[in-house]
Amino acid sequence: MQRVSAAGESLRLACDAMGTRFECVLFGADQTRLRAAAEAAFAEIESLSARWSYFASGSMVFRINREAAERPVALDAETRDILRLALDVWRDSRSCFDITIAPLMRHWGFRVAPLPERGEKSLLQAQEPLSERGATPAIWGSQHLLLEETACTLAFAHPGIEIDLGAIAKGWAIDRAAEVLREAGVAAALLHGGTSSVVAIGSPPHSPRGWPVRLGPFDGSPVVHLRDSALGISAPHGRTANIAGSSVGHVIDPRTGAPTGWAGGSTLPSPAREDSRDSTFAACVHTSAAIADAWSTALLVRGSARGAALPHGLATAVRLSDTWTYSDSFAQHLSPELAS
């Protein structure tokens, strides 16, 4: 495949998938080839979105949630592979990343749409006041997922288990989209999904060090430079629910069943300080956006990379109470004035 020169004008395209906005910025002299490559990359994202939608009745995830408690469900190879990765991160993060928290998301009010055509009432309706919802759902946890890799099947150990790939699927999708761009010969591109999952190919003409990306909306947020690498970002802000009169971020701690940033039990917790909740932030850089995506969520829950079995090559950054902590490998991506 002939490589498209990074020199030339930029082209920006976007599509909507997985409940968010994907954007791609490409540089090159041949705008027609760039557009065709970007459209093929978006087609790959849209295909994975349809396959792994939590809500669409024709999706693989919907079928798994409907049938896996009764019988093993046959998987395509790519769904098996993303499930394997999700289980690896769950294990290595000590349960701080978990794809079985969909019932908890509904319980705390972050999901307003119940599973349709389920043949049963949704576990908990998100619009109910918290005081009327009772205890959190009793069953969740990836230990209840029975993945048979050779047979390529998934079963649930108990009724009531559900999976939702939302915390890893965006990263996986832009990894696949980046493969499409590279195969088309694209030499310089930045692709993101909802600004929280990012893949960089090469570097733009104006920044040989890499694509500059600012971490978070905070004053003085650091800037990282990405070149042939991926970034995953997690923060509790962005999607919120009103719980006990306070706005709460959407990230769930799978170890407790409660949103991160809350102290106490999992049914009616006491709010943490507002500023500490708003300022919590985690970011990871890796060659894989899926790995960076999942681990940024795990580190946001953990609050630190200490004690986790991090994958090789993962660079980490965590912000707690206005203080950033960087791994040495992450500091290499920072703007020079911030890396010291």
pLDDT reported for residue 108: 79
Q: How far apart are CA 295 and CA 92, in angstroms?
A: 10
Q: What is the pLDDT of residues 67-107, one digit of tens each?
A: 999 999 999 999 999 999 999 999 999 999 999 999 988 88
- Give me the tens of pLDDT residue by residue for the chain, a chain 340 residues long: 445 555 568 999 999 999 999 999 999 999 999 999 999 999 999 999 999 999 999 999 999 999 999 999 999 999 999 999 999 999 999 999 999 999 988 887 776 554 444 333 333 333 344 444 455 666 899 999 999 999 999 999 999 999 999 999 999 999 999 999 999 999 999 999 999 999 999 999 999 999 999 987 767 788 999 999 999 999 875 555 555 555 555 688 999 887 876 544 433 333 344 444 456 889 999 999 999 999 999 999 998 888 789 999 999 999 887 788 999 999 999 987 554 4
* Stated pTM of the model: 0.85
pLDDT value at residue 3: 55
- Could you give the CA distance from residue 316 to residue 282 in angstroms, rounded to a whole number? 8
Instruction: Give the pairing type, strands 246-249 and 240-243.
Output: antiparallel
In the prediction, which pLDDT does 321 show? 77
Task: Judge whether 259 and 108 are in contact, CB under 8 Å.
Answer: yes
HSE (CB half, 13 Å, CA atoms) of 105?
22
Q: Please report, for the chain, the start and end positions of each structural domain, with discontinuous segments joined by +.
A: 60-167
What is the SS3 string spanning the chain? CCCECCCCEEEEEEEEECCEEEEEEEEECCHHHHHHHHHHHHHHHHHHHHHHCCCCCCCHHHHHHHHCCCCCEECCHHHHHHHHHHHHHHHHCCCCCCCCCHHHHHHCCCCCCCCCCCCCCCCCCCCCCHHHCCCCCCCCCHHHEEEECCCCEEEECCCCCCCCCHHHHHHHHHHHHHHHHHHCCECCEEEEECCCEEEEECCCCCCCCCEEEECCCCCCCCEEEECCEEEEEECCCCCEEEECCEEEECCEECCCCEECCEECCCCCCEECCHHHHHHCEEEEEECCHHHHHHHHHHHHHHCCCCCCCCCCCCEEEEEECCEEEECHHHHCCECHHHHC
Measured CA angle at 13 (ends 46, 199), to 5 deg: 70
Q: Give Cα 178 to chain centroid, integer Å.
A: 16
CA angle 335, 8, 208 (to 5 degrees): 20
Q: In this structure, are residues 97 and 252 in contact, taking their beta carbons and an 8 Å threshold? A: no
List the one residue out of 15, 24, 67, 72 whose CA is nearest residue 46.
Answer: 15
| Residue 278 exposure: Cα atoms within 13 Å on the Cβ side | 8
State the pLDDT at residue 274: 41
Tokens of 313: 């090559």
Residue 5: per-residue pLDDT = 53
CATH number given to 60-167: 1.10.3980.10
Residue in the structure block whose two tokens are 């010291």: 340
**Residue 337: what pLDDT?**
53
Which residues sit opposite 14 in a β-bridge? 23
Closest CA to 188 of 42, 26, 11: 26
